[in-house]
Amino acid sequence: MDRANSQAESEYVIRFGGPGQPSIPRYTRYNDNCIQHDRICILTFPLQPASEKWTVLDNQKRRPNYPYLRARYGHHVVQPTGRTEPMRFEEFLNSMEAGEEIYLRDWHLLRECQKEGDEESFYTTPQWVADDWLNAYLDTDGDDDYRFVYMGASGTCTTLHVDVFNSFSWSANICGIKKWTFFPPFQSAYLTNARGDTIADIRTASPTEFPAFHMHTTPIIIYQRPGELVFVPSRWYHQVENIGETISINHNWCNARNIDTIFENLETDLAYIRNAIGEHRIEMGEDEWDPHCQMMLRANNAGFGYEMLWDFLVFHAGRLLMLKDQGRHRSSVPPWEDEDAVADGMKKVTALWARLMKDEWAALHPTSDEHLALFRRLEYEVLTQDQRRSAALTGTDCELLC
């Protein structure tokens, strides 16, 4: 590791649980040190039972347990990267074991198993990344999620990207080594050329076409080993190269900490779309204009538009109010559902609802009486909790003065 990378890692990366590293902290300290400060975090925490069942020890290294994977999941149909036709997972495994450079990304294995009625889980989401508002919302209909399995031969690569709609992500390595190359958000402007095109693959980025990339970026390079989990904050561009036969379990997710970042991404994208096709607004008419803008927004953001954002806010408004009502009667709660976390979540959802209601989209999509009552109650609870906090602080000041 060069000196620049070492300095950058010390500033932006924190490690827990490995040899010579601090022990993995409790959730609150982890949240304060990593999530609240947008720091990359590496936890030594093997996901079980996948780490044990999906791999075998070969010359002191973990590699895929091909017989087990074939027997257990071989009947599933997958779509490897760069292939025009899907194949059975058994065929994919045969190709990979034979040494073919083949790569499987974004495989919804957990969801597929659940739809088959297969109740045997191959991992449990670690508590440090369990406050997942995105997948909790998507689980309400069961048609989609952002939980994936990745599996690739040595030399395969996920090229430069920022995570979908500026979500968080985490990746738990089961076997093989992943080389991560990260760029802090403030360096994103250096990853484009004069036309505004983002680098596709940093390994082949031309100094002539991307001079700012070669002159001004300070990439942070991390080698993720089996049993390590990497937390990726919002807005960090990264590229991932597989070294050896590699398997990982990945999630995209969000919570109260970054939903405003997700909204700002949608808001900025929609403003660009409206401006880009603004000359056609009159001829299209409002009945066609708004749906067309939203269609383009969804196309740019993996299906996430203002309609989905609205449903997401409605779901979490109801969930948070339910947690608040149940608070006194629950004997134990995870830290991301305690009184302070619920209060902060309600405040974030209320603020985003108010911002969304100011957009012209809201005028074309009237709020139902039921949803209006839901958000009015949420506003009331937020106002009440702010008043209580203010009174508590005033009381503390009074005690100090007295």
DSSP state of 367: P
The rounded Cα 282 to chain-centroid distance in angstroms is 38
Question: Could you count the other beta carbons within 10 Å of the beta carbon of residue 112?
Answer: 16
Instruction: Provide DSSP, 8-69.
Output: HHHHHEEEESSTTSPPPPPHHHHIIIIITTT-EEEEE---TTHHHHSEEEETTEEEE-HHHH
- Residue 219: phi and psi, rounded to 5, are -65, 150
| Amino acid letter, residue 207 | P
* Structure tokens that stand for 204 in this block: 């082949």
Q: Answer whether 123's CB lies under 8 Å from 47's CB.
A: yes
pLDDT of residue 11: 85
SS (H, E, C) 248-268: EEEEEECCCCCHHHHHHHHHH
- Token pair 């299209």 in the structure block, residue: 284
CA dihedral 352, 358, 360, 366 (to 10 degrees): 80
Instruction: Provide DSSP, 163-214.
Output: -GGG-EEEEEEEEEEEEEEEE-GGGGGGGB-TT-PBPS-GGG--TTT-HHHH
Q: Report the top-level CATH class of 3-253.
A: mainly beta
pLDDT of residue 5: 63
pLDDT of residue 1: 39
Domain residues of the chain, as ranges? 3-253, 259-398
Bridge pairing between strands 237-253 and 220-224: unpaired
Q: What is the pLDDT along the chain (402 residues), one digit of tens a residue?
A: 344 565 567 789 999 999 999 999 999 999 888 888 889 999 999 999 999 999 999 988 999 999 999 999 999 999 999 999 999 999 999 999 999 999 999 999 999 999 998 878 899 999 999 999 999 999 997 789 999 999 999 999 999 999 999 999 999 999 999 999 999 999 999 999 999 999 999 999 999 999 999 999 999 999 999 999 999 999 999 999 999 999 999 999 999 999 999 999 999 999 999 999 999 999 999 889 999 999 999 999 989 999 999 999 999 999 999 999 987 667 788 999 999 999 999 999 999 999 999 999 999 999 999 999 999 999 999 999 878 777 665 655 555 444
Pairwise CA distance, residues 150 & 171, whole Å: 9
Report the chain's terminal Cα–Cα distance, integer Å.
57
pLDDT of residue 394: 61
pLDDT of residue 390: 72
Which residues, in sequence order, are CB contacts of 157 under 8 Å at separation 6+?
103, 201, 203, 239, 240, 241, 242
- Token pair 């997710």 in the structure block, residue: 253
| Element housing 100 (H / E) | none
